[in-house]
Amino acid sequence: MTEPVAQQLSRRERQIMDAIYTLGRATVAEVRERLPEPPSYSAVRALLRILEEKGHLRHESEDNRYVFIPTVPAESARETALRHVLRTFFAGSAAGAMAALLELEDLELSDEEYDRLAAAIEQARREGR
Amino acid sequence: MTEPVAQQLSRRERQIMDAIYTLGRATVAEVRERLPEPPSYSAVRALLRILEEKGHLRHESEDNRYVFIPTVPAESARETALRHVLRTFFAGSAAGAMAALLELEDLELSDEEYDRLAAAIEQARREGR
DNA sequence: CCAGCACTGCTAGAAAATTAGCACCCCGCT
DNA sequence: AGCGGGGTGCTAATTTTCTAGCAGTGCTGG
């Protein structure tokens, strides 16, 4: 019951999981704020309960209120999301995706980030990946 | 009516749009094949009609059957998808996302791709982005 | 000519998602 | 002790999504 079932989420469920992943952890009110055209408090509450039942979230009590936390660690979720985008839009090519990222208008990377990236690429190359 | 309304898609709608984007263009049957636990032909047909009404797709007749084509060009859709992932999982940082891409187990880039990427990075740096 | 096949359009109904409402609980304050 | 505010659980009902069914169309081969 606590294992996150690999099933597709509904629209709202997706929105809520996204909100929580961007925040890391969140209370009902915080999630609600992030939703487009915020539904009622209890609507959100209900969805959170469902997500918890499905095993995507767990909660802790904090200051007498619940804080919801993803059961799937952010890194895994990230990877899954990236792979999905790769598959659907880049024919699975990570290189293609990276190229697209570099093309973003508002990239704004710092010099340091450029250096780190260049280094990461060289490292990946050496490791033959 | 022909403008894609920026509203969130339902689960199935999303699946279908994804299928079409990976294929570029697709017939009903082709879309259907790609869906998990393929629903009936007419179920798919109905969803396609809805997506068309909402302005996400258009169709052409080809060999007496419809070929569905996204109204939003792949590049835009890609960018939107990437930005979404950036926002939700990487605090908006493209550098973070690229780093994560480079960490993928099964990266398998060719030497040429490494070169191209390195070059792209240098170019972006020069262009001050 | 008409049977079979592969499509399409449309619609009603089932199923799932989403919502609000209401009862309860705990805590701080007067 | 008795509010009031801000939480929570649960449930019923609405709304949306999703589906299958059926009728119509065009083409192809016997």
Residues B44 and B94 in one domain: no
Residues B53 and B78 in one domain: no
CA proximity to A109, closest of A120, A93, A95: A120
Residues B15 and B66 in one domain: yes
- Residue B15 located in a structural domain: yes
Asked if residue B94 lies in contact with residue B86, where contact means CB atoms within 8 angstroms, the answer is yes
| Domain's final residue, options A55, A70, A85 | A70
Residues A57 and A94 in one domain: no
Residues A33 and A19 in one domain: yes
Number of structural domains chain B divides into: 2
Lookup: tokens for A58: 């767990």
What pLDDT shows up at residue A2?
Answer: 59
DSSP helix, strand, coil percent of chain B (3-state; round to 5): 60, 10, 30
Chain A contact set for B76 (CB, 8 A): none
- Residue B102 located in a structural domain: yes
- Residue B120 located in a structural domain: yes
What pLDDT shows up at residue B99?
Answer: 97
The ipTM (two decimal places) reads: 0.91
- Residue B2 located in a structural domain: no
CATH for A58: 1.10.10.10
| Domain's final residue, options A30, A49, A70 | A70
Chain B contact set for A129 (CB, 8 A): 104-109
Residues B48 and B96 in one domain: no
Kindly determine whether residue B74 and residue A95, on different chains, have CB atoms separated by under 8 Å. Answer: no
Q: Which residue has the higher pLDDT, A27 or A8?
A: A27
Element (H, E) at A59: strand A57-62
Q: How many residues does chain A have?
A: 129
- The distance of B94 to chain A (nearest Cα, Å) reads 6
Residues B116 and B65 in one domain: no
- Residue A1 located in a structural domain: no
Residues A53 and A80 in one domain: no
Whether residue A129 has pLDDT greater than 90: no
| Domain's final residue, options A70, A91, A106 | A70
Kindly determine whether residue B99 and residue A117, on different chains, have CB atoms separated by under 8 Å. Answer: yes
Residues A37 and A65 in one domain: yes
C-alpha A8/C-alpha A6 separation (Å) is 7
Lookup: tokens for B65: 């059957």
Average pLDDT taken over every residue of chain A: 94
Q: Which residue has the higher pLDDT, B3 or B51?
A: B51
Whether residue A12 has pLDDT greater than 70: yes
Lookup: tokens for B122: 């240098």
- Counting one residue from chain A and one from chain B, the pairs whose CB atoms sit within 8 A come to 143
Whether residue A55 has pLDDT greater than 80: yes
Question: Can you give the residue range of the structural domain that contains A116?
Answer: 74-126
Residues A60 and A81 in one domain: no
| Local confidence band at A108 (pLDDT 50, 70, 90 cut-offs) | confident
Q: What is the mean pLDDT of residues A12-24?
A: 98
- The distance of B2 to chain A (nearest Cα, Å) reads 23
Share of chain A above pLDDT 90, in %: 87
What pLDDT shows up at residue A1?
Answer: 47
- Residue A4 located in a structural domain: no
Residues B80 and B63 in one domain: no
- Residue A38 located in a structural domain: yes
Q: What is the mean pLDDT of residues B33-38?
A: 92
What pLDDT shows up at residue B17?
Answer: 98
Whether residue A60 has pLDDT greater than 70: yes
Q: Which residue has the higher pLDDT, B43 or A129?
A: B43
Ramachandran bin of A109, using left for φ above 0, alpha for ψ from -120 to 50, beta for the remaining angles = beta
Angle value at C-alpha B97, between B95 and B98, nearest 5 degrees = 65
Residues A48 and A28 in one domain: yes
> Measured in Å, how far apart are chain B's first and last C-alpha atoms?
37
- Residue B42 located in a structural domain: yes
Nearest residue by alpha-carbon distance to C1' of D6: A65
Nearest CA in chain B to A81: B85
pLDDT digits (tens, 9 = 90+) for A70-95: 999 999 999 999 999 999 999 999 99
pLDDT digits (tens, 9 = 90+) for B54-113: 999 999 999 999 999 999 999 999 999 999 999 999 999 999 999 999 999 898 899 999
C-alpha B80/C-alpha A72 separation (Å) is 24
What pLDDT shows up at residue A7?
Answer: 73
| Local confidence band at B6 (pLDDT 50, 70, 90 cut-offs) | low
Chain B contact set for A106 (CB, 8 A): 129
Q: Is the dihedral of CA A56, A94, A107, B55 positive or negative?
A: negative
Ramachandran bin of A122, using left for φ above 0, alpha for ψ from -120 to 50, beta for the remaining angles = alpha
The SS3 call for residue A25 is coil
- The distance of B127 to chain A (nearest Cα, Å) reads 10
Lookup: tokens for B125: 């740096």
